[in-house]
Amino acid sequence: MNSIEFPLLDRTTQNSVISTTLNDLSNWSRLSSLWPLLYGTSCCFIEFASLIGSRFDFDRYGLVPRSSPRQADLILTAGTVTMKMAPSLVRLYEQMPEPKYVIAMGACTITGGMFSTDSYSTVRGVDKLIPVDVYLPGCPPKPEAVIDAITKLRKKISREIHEDQIRSQQENRCFTTNHKFHVGRSTHSYRQL
């Protein structure tokens, strides 16, 4: 049993009555049933797929992968995010109900990776598009590291206060609302030979 399984137990009387706060009860129920939306584009996502198998037993953490953002409260981003994909990622994030969490998995997701040096179309960090709760470095991160990141997120959820969630919802808005990138003149000049 994890140390965060029952964070809401303040004291127990002899009659098996548990007293706690409503905030702790809410946090406990949320961390026991995280439903992730998987947003993967490259090798990090293949490494993540091994978590679903019996060796790592992804289900023991209450994580049930969802295919709809309206049913998910956690988005796991893995792989390179391009400028063309950025509006769809922001749209998926905005469709998720509150409270929502993000884990950025892999070097390409966190910094743009090896594609960010010469590429004009790579987003240099998914945190420029959506707020990230847990960064998971690696190329690709091992399944054990993904489990560790989920455990860290669960600890963060268990310590949350309702007022902080509301403040975070108001501050961490996405950078776009209409999901359109406007085409303008190219800043790169070239001469045709």
Which residues fall in the annotated binding site for [4Fe-4S] cluster? Answer: 43-44, 108, 139
Q: How many residues does the chain have?
A: 193
Pairing of strands 74-78, 36-40: parallel
Task: Give the separation between CA 64 and CA 66, rounded to whole angstroms.
Answer: 6
* Alpha carbon distances (Å) from 176 to 36, 51, 94, 123, 158: 23, 33, 10, 14, 30
> Which ranges constitute the DSSP H helices of 14-142?
22-31, 43-49, 86-95, 107-111
Residue list for the binding site: 43-44, 108, 139
